[in-house]
Structure 1
């Protein structure tokens, strides 16, 4: 059974579940799921018995926002949904801890485009860290659009988490730090190895 969110956000073409560590949203980690992955499945993966990213975040006073994307979306459309989630998180956040924004699969690509696009438009996304977990490799037309936006967000620390053999269209040079491992068991949203590595690098 999936963990129950404290709040549900209805955004443009997407829905987010918000899990706060305390009463208010103070230290948000926005994680964008792969295209077509339901929020219940995302939440079950985030709170999996073998490794609960949700519990580890809460133990550190961090909030988790899970954003679900439609199965038939596009990088630009999904990126708009991620931008809406970022703006909502900033509006509801108490305090000034910088955001952590990232995703897995198509969600990682959408988050990458969203933050790069906000920087291109000179919109302050207040993200201190961006992470890409097994990110989808952009199609040719998406690659051109990403290039126009600067290819990647430049302000936050850029972390790349990639299973061996995954083609995410990225290389170690484009990211500030990279961790590569063999694919872990199905179930948890992030493996313990990836999750622990990410948690050590969250912004203050």
Structure 2
């Protein structure tokens, strides 16, 4: 997992509330257990027309937002079923941070396990950042994880809170497997000692 320290990039505005995991990655694309290749299906039902052509009205299809790395969203982002494919799809598209007033718990925790930063801010702050995102590709937002600050293109700063352990994992690029592997020498020592003390096991 890549380390997340500081990001400056294009932010896409998605003011809809209750964007659920089925909207993020529809159920027909859940057949894979790979984290890659899902970005093309992210928001598929809003992103594509019935004939498969791109919906020109959908924000991520607009030229100024095709390279968006941040989503500024409405309340309760990631609600619905507990599919880890949702953060996989967003990450594969290129999204590295999502800003909202609230997230569904499972989606929120899955983001950290997949190198993505979900940021909770008050409605007033999200409103300012939403308007900033609406300016398009010339307005680049900065997300500074170390200092826990989001800065608008106009230089307005908003501080966010984050669990210290989750922050550490993101900044070090550690998912659950990475955390385990960081203790591999201790695990090896334990296994060797166990084999010596209980050879019959």
TM range (shorter): 0.3 to 0.5
Q: Whose radius of gyration is greater, 1 or 2? A: 2
Q: Whose relative contact order is higher, 1 or 2, with alpha carbons under 8 Å and at least 6 apart?
A: 2
More helix by share: 2
More strand by share: 1
